[in-house]
């Protein structure tokens, strides 16, 4: 490494601070003229004395563990005001002009900022600049850099080293200044800290939490405990009633709720039908005294079985039909005789009219229910004279309840098969 009085970085910083000329030349002669950086072989400093250094001299500025040459340092200073993309473009052009004889180092943004800040004298330290050979902790480098930033000549290596070791004549005022200096941190030193931190003591605290049992036992452990399993309540599934999707049916999604809940029949397309014609599912609550006298059961009413899962058929407790066999096409049992052996059927027709032939052939498995005709088609109120509707509805519910009991419906469970 060059001595302090010929250190390239210190000479460059001193020349910048004093405003003296820095001349790239093609030789080390005093009369050498200024040339471009692509042709220069030396860099001549004119203050405090004329000194010419080889432009390929490695400096104490290190990038990726490689010293950066003087040409690259001086080129970065000349382009200090240029943005990084333009700087890289200029560097590529200079490398092309050099013709492979040398390569200009392209500084990263942080490296370039750190270098320019140090050369301008705004900072006395740089992480990328190694200390001088005779300066192990960098104090002499800081001192000479401080003097160079003021344009003063750099002290010799011996004087700086002896002054720091107490064997020379270091100015007491300068020593006082050095003792009062506060080492400034940067983002790397702040993030890394000044010493490694041992977190091994955290393990003993973590062990206390890891040893604790979970607050909520897993579901896989519950069935293994008979005492817990016996106290777990099973949710009772809702029974299902299927309606006929036929347009000729007297009971549709629009009027079935009022019929089974309030025991009043109204036509499906009348203004008094209180259910939405667009609904594809309805719910009705009713207490089935012979199954659960304390809690009402919720029945699900649907017209189609498109969304049915196979296990849903075990919950079907009644099927309303008009006698048209196409209704059962997508059922689990498409044959009516087989279907009504598993699920009771209900046919609702006008009083005084014979049910269809198909309904009569299905026999007692299909319940025949008659209701009075609607006498006031234009009225918007419920006809109070329809007292027979209650009798019909109660008969339907009684048949449904008897079938549910025979199939195994209980207070908290449904049959596994029908």
Between 228 and 265, the more confident residue is 265
Asked if residue 415 has pLDDT above 80, the reply is yes
Asked if residue 276 has pLDDT above 60, the reply is no
Q: Look at residue 155 in the predicted model and tell me its pLDDT.
A: 47
Confidence of residue 168 (pLDDT cuts 50, 70, 90): very low
Least confident of 5-19, 98-112, 129-143, 340-354: 129-143
Q: Kindly report the pTM of this predicted structure.
A: 0.44
Least confident of 128-137, 149-158, 238-247: 149-158
Between 1 and 212, the more confident residue is 212
Q: Look at residue 48 in the predicted model and tell me its pLDDT.
A: 73
Average pLDDT over residues 382-395: 81
- Contacts within 8 Å (CB) and 24+ apart, 180-185: 181/142, 183/125, 184/123, 184/125
Query: Which residue, among 89, 88, 92, 132, has the nearest Cα to 111 in the 3D structure?
Result: 88
Q: What percent of the chain has pLDDT over 90?
A: 22
Q: Look at residue 230 in the predicted model and tell me its pLDDT.
A: 46
Least confident of 105-109, 233-237, 335-339, 380-384: 380-384
Q: Are 147 and 153 in contact (CB under 8 A)?
A: yes
Average pLDDT over residues 364-372: 90
**Backbone angles phi and psi of 173, in degrees to 5:** -65, -40
What's the chain look like in SS3? CCCHHHCHHHHHHHHHHHCCCEEEECCCCCCCCECCCCCCCEEEECCCCCEEEECCCEEEEEECCEEEEHHHHHHHHHCCCCCHHHHHHHHHHHHHHHCCCCCCCCCCHHHHHHHHHHHHCCCCCCCCECCCCCCCCCHHHHHHHHHHHCCCCCCCHHHHHHHHHCCCCCCHHHHHHHHHCCCCCCHHHHHHCCCCCCCCCHHHHHHHHHHCCCCCCCHHHCCCCHHHHHHCCCCCCCCEEECCCCCCCCCCCCCHHHHHHHCCCCCCCCCCCCCCCCCCCEEEEEEECCCEEEEEEEEEEECCCCCCCHHHHHHEEEEECCCCHHHHCCCCCCCHHHHHHHCCEEEEEECCCCCCHHHHHCHHHEEEEEECCCCCCCCCCCCCCCCHHHHHHHHHHHHHHHHHHHHCCECCECCCCC
Average pLDDT over residues 146-172: 49
Q: Look at residue 211 in the predicted model and tell me its pLDDT.
A: 67
Q: Look at residue 145 in the predicted model and tell me its pLDDT.
A: 56
Q: How many residues does the chain have?
A: 418
Q: What is the mean pLDDT of the chain?
A: 79
Residue 206 half-sphere exposure, CB side, CA atoms within 13 Å?
A: 5
Asked if residue 26 has pLDDT above 80, the reply is yes
Q: Look at residue 72 in the predicted model and tell me its pLDDT.
A: 92
Q: Look at residue 345 in the predicted model and tell me its pLDDT.
A: 94
Confidence of residue 166 (pLDDT cuts 50, 70, 90): very low
Q: Look at residue 180 in the predicted model and tell me its pLDDT.
A: 76
């Amino acid at each position: 490494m060059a001595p302090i009085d010929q250190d390239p970085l210190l000479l460059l910083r001193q020349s910048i601070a004093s405003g003296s000329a820095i001349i790239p030349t093609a030789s080390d002669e005093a009369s050498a003229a200024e040339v471009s950086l692509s042709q220069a072989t030396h860099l001549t400093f004119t203050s405090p004395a004329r000194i010419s250094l080889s432009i390929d001299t490695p400096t104490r500025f290190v990038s990726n563990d490689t010293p950066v040459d003087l040409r690259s340092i001086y080129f970065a200073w000349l382009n200090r005001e240029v943005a990084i993309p333009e700087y890289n473009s200029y560097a590529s052009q200079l490398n092309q002009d050099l013709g492979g004889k040398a390569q200009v180092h392209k500084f990263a943004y942080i490296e370039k900022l750190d270098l320019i800040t140090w050369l301008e004298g705004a900072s006395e330290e740089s992480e990328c600049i190694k200390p001088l050979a005779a300066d192990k902790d960098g104090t002499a480098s800081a001192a000479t850099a401080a003097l160079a930033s003021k344009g003063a000549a750099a002290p010799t290596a011996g004087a700086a080293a002896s002054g720091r070791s107490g064997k020379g004549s270091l100015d007491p005022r300068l020593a006082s200044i050095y003792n009062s200096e506060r080492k400034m941190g940067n983002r790397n030193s702040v993030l890394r800290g000044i010493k490694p931190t041992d977190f091994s003591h955290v393990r003993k605290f973590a062990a206390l939490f890891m040893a604790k049992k979970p607050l909520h036992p897993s579901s896989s452990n519950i069935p293994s405990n008979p005492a817990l399993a016996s106290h777990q309540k099973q949710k009772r599934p809702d029974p299902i009633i299927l309606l006929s999707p036929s347009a000729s049916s007297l009971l549709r999604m629009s009027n079935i709720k009022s019929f089974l809940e309030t025991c009043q029949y109204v036509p499906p397309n009348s203004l008094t039908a209180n259910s939405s014609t667009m609904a594809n599912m309805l719910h009705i609550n009713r207490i089935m005294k012979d199954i659960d006298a304390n809690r009402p059961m919720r029945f699900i009413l649907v017209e189609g079985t498109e969304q049915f899962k196979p296990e849903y058929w075990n919950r079907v407790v009644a099927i309303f039909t008009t006698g048209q066999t196409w209704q059962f096409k997508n059922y689990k049992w498409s044959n009516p005789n087989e279907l009504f052996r598993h699920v009771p059927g209900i046919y609702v027709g006008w009083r005084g009219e014979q049910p269809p032939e198909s309904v009569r052939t299905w026999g007692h498995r299909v319940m025949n229910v008659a209701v009075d005709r609607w006498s006031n088609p234009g009225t918007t109120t419920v006809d109070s004279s329809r007292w027979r509707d209650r009798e019909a509805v109660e008969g339907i519910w009684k048949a449904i309840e008897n079938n549910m009991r025979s199939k195994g419906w209980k207070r908290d469970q449904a049959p596994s098969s029908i």
